[in-house]
Copies of this chain bind each other. A is one copy, B any other.
Amino acid sequence: MDDIDRKLVNILCADGRTSYAELARQVGLTPPSVQDRVAKLERTGVIVGYRAVADPAKIGLNVTAAIGIGTQSGREYAQIASEFEKIDEIESCYFVAGRESYLIKVRVPDMSDLQDLLERIGAIPGVAETRTTIAITTHWEGRPQEVKDRELTHGNRRPKLIRRSRMGQLGGFHR
C-alpha cells in the first residue's frame, strides 16, 4: 500500500467505473501497471467490490429508518444476526455497544411496510425491544472516506503528529 495505491482506492471509491486508462493518466502509470495494482487491491481485500448507487426514492424505497434492537440476556448473539440476515430490508447490521445490542438500517417503500417489518423483527426469538428512528431528510449517505497515508494496511501505524487536512464536500452523490 503506497501513495499510488491509496490514490487508486480514492479515485475508485469516488467513481467505481473509472477505466484503467483513466486511472493510469491520473496516477502517472501505464494501464497494465494500474490493472496489476487494482487486481492486487481486490485480491487482498482492500477493494471488496463495486456497486451502482441507486436513488432509493426512485426505486420506490421512500422510508429509511435506523432501528436499535435490545435483546434478552442469555441469547446467542450470532443466531439473532443470522435471523436478521434473512430480512432483505435490512441494508446494514451492526452489533453495538450502547443502549441496544444491535443497530440496523432499513429501507422500505412506505410506513405500512415499516410496521410490517417491525412486527417481523419483534417476532424473532431473543429480540426484546426495538427503538425506531425515522429519517426525514437524508442529507447524504455513503460518502467515500479519503484514504490517508497514516492509515496503513495493518497495525504498523505511525504516531499522530499533525491533524490531517480536511477535504471539502458537496451535496448529493459525493465525489
CB distance B44 to A92 under 8 Å? no
Chain B residue nearest in CB terms to A95: B137
**Chain A interface category by residue count:** 35 or more
**A59 at interface by CB-CB < 8 Å:** yes
Number of copies: 2
The A47-90 residues at the B interface (CB cut-off 8 A) are 47-56, 58-61, 64, 66, 68, 81, 84-90
The A99-125 residues at the B interface (CB cut-off 8 A) are 99-100, 103, 105, 107, 109, 112
Q: With the chains together, A126 CA to B16 CA distance in Å?
A: 37
| Contact partners of A27 in chain B: CB under 8 A | none
| Contact partners of A86 in chain B: CB under 8 A | 166, 168-169
Q: With the chains together, A151 CA to B139 CA distance in Å?
A: 23
Identify A133's interface contact among B50, B103, B105, CB under 8 A. B103
Given known A-B contacts A51-B50, A54-B13, A68-B133, A147 and B59 have beta carbons under 8 A apart? yes
Given known A-B contacts A58-B45, A97-B133, A139-B95, A145 and B51 have beta carbons under 8 A apart? no
A-B residue pairs, 3 tightest by C-beta: A60-B151, A12-B52, A98-B133
